[in-house]
């Protein structure tokens, strides 16, 4: 698989292989994945690519929280912008509730 930065006209290189990431849904963390991180040596643009066929773990599994902690993923991504926005809105509402509870 070749990935090219069209802005810089250069092939991305693998920065980290086997990086764990979280696929989020509107309700929160959904699946834990393995993929590789590629970066452009010129502009620093980065992508996750080369995902494993099977997820490492999924939210309904009893040890999901522990598995996520163990892999300590840096990136959370969403299948669509709509899902990402729904997640952000719910997170903002939860944060607002916490502030209300404290005051």
Binding site for Zn ion (CB under 5 A): 5, 7-8, 40, 42-43, 45
Least distance to Zn ion, CB of residue 3, Å: 11
Separation of alpha carbons 7 and 75, rounded Å: 23
Nearer to Zn ion, 43 or 97 (CB): 43
Nearest CB to Zn ion, comparing residues 47 and 86: 47
CB of 20 to Zn ion, least distance (A): 25
Q: Which of 35, 34, 49, 43 is nearest to 3 (CA)?
A: 49
Nearer to Zn ion, 5 or 57 (CB): 5
Closest listed residue to residue 89, CA positions, set 9, 20, 14, 24: 24
């Amino acid at each position: 698989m070749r990935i090219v930065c069209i802005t810089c006209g250069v092939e991305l290189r693998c920065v980290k292989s086997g990086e764990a990431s979280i696929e989020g849904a509107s309700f929160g963390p959904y699946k834990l994945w393995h993929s590789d991180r590629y970066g452009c040596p010129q502009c620093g643009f980065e992508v996750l690519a080369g995902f494993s066929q099977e997820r490492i773990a999924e939210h309904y599994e009893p040890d999901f929280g522990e598995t996520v902690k163990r892999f300590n993923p840096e990136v959370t991504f969403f299948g669509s912008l709509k899902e990402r926005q729904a997640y952000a809105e719910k997170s903002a509402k939860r944060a607002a509730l916490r502030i209300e509870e404290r005051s």
